[in-house]
Amino acid sequence: MKKVLLRVVCVGLVGLVAFVAGCGKKTHPVKVVVDPAFQTGAFDKIAVFPFASALSPSADPSGLAPKTFDQLFRTALDTRNDYQWVAPSSVEYALDREGLKEDAKKFVDDWRQKHQADAEFLAKMGKALQVDGVLIGVVELWQQDEVDARENAAAATYVGATVTIFDVKDGHMLFEAADENMIEGIRGEDRDRQIVRSGSGQIYSDPSGSLFKAPPLDEVAIKVAQALAASIPAR
């Protein structure tokens, strides 16, 4: 059975104010980095991109993770009335209209893999949507560990994501927060049990079909989405 440990990232960046959870503490989010310019109140209207996925196809074969986060994170943002949020549906419409869909995918991939932001692309989005900033989100952890009933271990679910906000004027990062959370729980689920016959002819029920089921992924995802939305500095 795979185990995933909560990763705590310690950050120190020149010119940025970083608020980081102390190592070993399970505070949420586990990492927050804020540019002082973002706390001046000058940034009002922010375009929220649809969540992207950094998961392998085997981890999320149906592509459920980013769709779940789109819904949960947007719901969490709707409780914040200190910013004007441009919804992912409006962002997708603008990307189609401006022919920037592939550029948007490349932008997210380049940031995630190389930590490089395309200022030209951000400027185009700023003009197309009349926004001050662009927010992207990436799902990075999406895992359920079920255990056999005979194992001395707990079933668990793990979810993690990162959100980043950029200034459309020059492309620099204004804000970034990352969070991972997990829930352990034992939920009995009886699978179809095979009937086996011993050498003496006695019939037994095979217990190998009984698993302890991990909690639903969205129960953990909502905790991560709410923590990330709440971590954005108030205006």
4 located within any domain: no
Give the CATH number for residue 171: 3.40.50
9 located within any domain: no
1 located within any domain: no
**What pLDDT is attached to residue 145?**
85
Q: Are 121 and 103 in contact (CB under 8 A)?
A: yes
**What pLDDT is attached to residue 212?**
67
**What pLDDT is attached to residue 151?**
61
C-alpha distances out from residue 123 to 10, 130, 172, 222, Å: 30, 10, 11, 32
Q: Are 121 and 104 in contact (CB under 8 A)?
A: yes
7 located within any domain: no
Q: Work out how many domains the chain is built from and give that number.
A: 1
Spans of the chain below 50 pLDDT: 1-24, 187-209
The set of residues, in sequence order, having a beta carbon less than 8 Å from that of 132 and lying 6+ positions away, is: 42, 43, 44, 45, 46, 126, 167, 168
The strand pairing partners of 162, in sequence order, are 138, 178
What's the predicted TM-score (pTM) here?
Answer: 0.79
**What pLDDT is attached to residue 26?**
65
179 located within any domain: yes
**What pLDDT is attached to residue 155?**
81
Domain containing 190 equals 17-231
3 located within any domain: no
162 located within any domain: yes
